[in-house]
Amino acid sequence: MAHTQIWQTQDGKLNPLVEAYTVGDDYILDAALAKYDVKASLAHAKMLHSMKILSDDDMASIKEGLSQLARQIDNKEFIIEPSQEDCHTAIEEFLTEKYGDVGKKIHTGRSRNDQSMVMMRLYMKDIFENTQQVLNRLVKTYEETSKKYSNIAMPGYTHMQKAMPTSVGVWLGAYKEGFSDVSELVSHTKKYIDQNPLGSASGFGISNFAMDRDITTKDLDFAKTQDNPMYCGYSRGLFENVVLQALSPAMIISAKFANDMLLFTTSDFDFLALPPEFTTGSSIMPQKRNYDVFEIMRGNTKVYHSLQQQIQDIILGIGGGYQRDLQLTKKPFINAIEICKSTLDLLTLMVPKIIVNKNKLDAAMTDDLFVTNKVYDLVNSGMTFRDAYSKVKKQYFS
C-alpha cells in the first residue's frame, strides 16, 4: 500500500528532495521510540473513552491493536516507511487499516507535537531510571576495586609531574565518589522533566474541545501535568538538553579515567594493564598491544558533548511555537544516550579487570614525592610553614 503523509496537501505531492531533506532519519529513529508512543496512545485512548469519544468497542479495538503493535515493536517487526515520516502516522494508519473508523478517532485532541513530546518524555524517564542503575553498579565496582588496592602506593601527579604520595585505592576512590555524585544529580534532575505534555496539542490546546489532561498524567505516572500548552512546546529540545547535561559529569569523569589509563598503561609508566581481550593490535607492527578502548572513550566523551551542543544550538535559534528544526534534536539525543550507556557499561566491565603492576609502582615512589612531608615534619616540630618550605627547598635544589 502506498502510504501518504496525513497532512498531504490537496494540490499535489511533496517534492522528493524536500521530503528526503525534511524527514531525515526520523522513520528509523522512531523504531526505538515507538513503544513509548504506543504506551502514551493507550493512555490517550483511555481519556477519549472516558469522554465518550471512543465507545467501549472502539476502546477494545484500540487496546487490541496497540498491544499487537507493542509486540511487533518488541520483535523488531514494526517498520515505518519514509513516506509516513514518523511512528505517529504509522500507528494511526495501522489502526485505521485494521479497525476502520476507530483509527480515525485516535488523533482526536492531540497533535503530532504533543504525541512526540510525551513519547520522548517517557523515554527520558526510562533513561534516568536505567542510568541510575548502571551508575550504581559502576560505583560499587569502583568501590570494591578501590578497597582491593587500598594499600598499594602510587605517585600522585600534578602538572603531570610527581607531586606527593597517594595510593591506587585513593585514585580509584575518586572515581567512585565522582560517579556516585552523578547518580544523585540524576535523581534530582528527574523531577524537572517529570511533567505530562500530552493534551497541549500544537502548543495552543483546543479551545472548543474539553479534555481532562490529568487522566493521562495519572495513567502514565507523571508527577504533574505540564499546564501551559505553549510551555509544553518550549520544553522540546530544552528538556532533552537538561537530560544530557545531567549525565554530562558521568562522561567527563569517564574521560578523566580514560586519560589516566592511557598514561598509566604506557610502557614508560607501566603502572597498570588490562588482559589481552581488552587490547588491540596493529596491521604492520606485530608486537603491539594498544588500549584503543580508552582512546575511543576519550573521543566519545567529546562526541557526546558535541551532540548535546547540537541540540542547544538548534533550540537557541528559535522563538516560541513549534518549528521543524526541533525535530533534528531527536537523533543527537538518542545517539548521545547510547554513547553514555555503552561507556558506563564498558567501565563496569573493565575496572575490576585492571592489573596493578606493584613492582613498577614501588619503583616509581621516588624521594621527590616525600619532600613535602619533610616540610611538615618541620611544621610538626614548630617551624612556620613558609619557613619550613623555604628551608627544604634550599636543601633540595643545592
Number of residues engaging a second copy in binding (CB under 8 A): 176
- The amino acid sitting at 271 is F
Residue whose cell numbers read 487522566: 215
Specify the 3-state DSSP secondary structure of 100.
coil
CA 329 to each of CA 2, 112, 258, 326: distance values in angstroms, whole numbers, following the listed order: 28, 15, 28, 6
Q: Does 50 bind a second copy (CB under 8 A)?
A: no
Q: Which of 309, 357, 358, 365 binds a second copy (CB under 8 A)?
A: 309
Binding span for a second copy by CB under 8 A among 31-39, 71-79, 127-135, 231-239: 231-239
Calculate the CA 93 to chain-centre distance: 31
Question: Interface with a second copy by CB under 8 A: which range of 69-77, 122-130, 206-214, 215-223?
Answer: 206-214
- Residue (69 or 238) nearer to a second copy, CB: 238
Contact between 191 and a second copy per CB under 8 A: yes
Give how far Cα 5 sits from Cα of 40, 71, 336, Å.
21, 25, 29
Residue 238 contacts a second copy per CB under 8 A:
yes
By CB under 8 A, tell whether 97 contacts a second copy.
no
Among 76, 77, 287, 359, binds a second copy (CB under 8 A): 287
Residue 144, interface with a second copy (CB under 8 A)?
no
Q: What's the CA gap between 328 and 62, in Å, rounded? A: 30
Is 79 one of the binding residues for a second copy (CB under 8 A)? no
Q: How far is the CB of 74 from a second copy (least distance, A)?
A: 22
- C-beta of 388: minimal distance to a second copy in Å? 9
CA neighbor of 248 nearest in space, from 196, 298, 301 = 301
Asked if residue 120 binds a second copy (CB under 8 A), the reply is: no
Binding segment for a second copy among 32-40, 75-83, 98-106, 132-140 (CB under 8 A)?
A: 98-106
Stretch that binds a second copy, among 31-39, 68-76, 126-134, 152-160 (CB under 8 A): 152-160
* Residue in the block written with cell 610553614: 385
List helix spans (H) across the chain. 16-23, 26-50, 56-74, 87-99, 101-105, 112-148, 168-193, 214-219, 229-234, 238-264, 292-316, 330-350, 358-364, 371-380, 385-397
Contact region with a second copy (CB under 8 A), list: 39-47, 129-137, 185-193, 212-220: 185-193
- Cell numbers given for 56: 467501549
**Span of 31-39, 119-127, 177-185, 214-222 interacting with a second copy by CB under 8 A:** 177-185
Residues 6+ apart with CB under 8 A from 214: 225
Q: Which is nearer to a second copy, 71 or 230 (CB)?
A: 230
Kindly state whether residue 21 participates in binding a second copy, applying the rule CB under 8 A. Answer: yes
Q: How far apart are CA 6 and CA 100, in angstroms?
A: 15
Task: Pick between residue 71 and residue 130 the one whose CB is nearest to a second copy.
Answer: 130
Window 340-369: residues binding a second copy (CB under 8 A): 342-343, 345-346, 349, 364, 366, 368
Which residue pairs from 1-9 have beta carbons closer than 8 angstroms and sit at least 24 positions apart in sequence? 1/97, 2/83, 3/81, 3/83, 3/84, 3/89, 3/93, 4/83, 5/83, 5/84, 5/85, 5/89, 6/89, 6/92, 6/93, 6/107
Work out which of 72, 83, 132, 372 binds a second copy, going by CB under 8 A.
372
**Of 32-40, 71-79, 131-139, 236-244, which part binds a second copy (CB under 8 A)?**
236-244
User: Beta 224-225 vs 195-196: how paired, if at all?
Assistant: parallel
Which of 105, 121, 125, 213 is close enough to bind a second copy by CB under 8 A?
105
Nearer to a second copy, 215 or 246 (CB): 246
Does residue 307 touch a second copy according to CB under 8 A?
A: yes
| Least gap, CB of 123 to a second copy (angstroms) | 19
CB of 8: closest distance to a second copy in angstroms? 7
User: In the complex, what is the shortest distance from the CB of residue 230 to a second copy, in angstroms, rounded to a whole number?
Assistant: 4
Picking from 138, 178, 174, the residue whose alpha carbon sits closest to that of residue 156 is 174
User: By CB under 8 A, is residue 230 in contact with a second copy?
Assistant: yes
From residue 239 to residue 278, the character string flagging contacts with a second copy as x (rule: CB under 8 A) and all else as - is --xx--xx-xx--xx-xxx-xx-xx-xxxxx------xxx
Burial of 51 (0-12, 13-18, 19+ CB in 10 A): middle
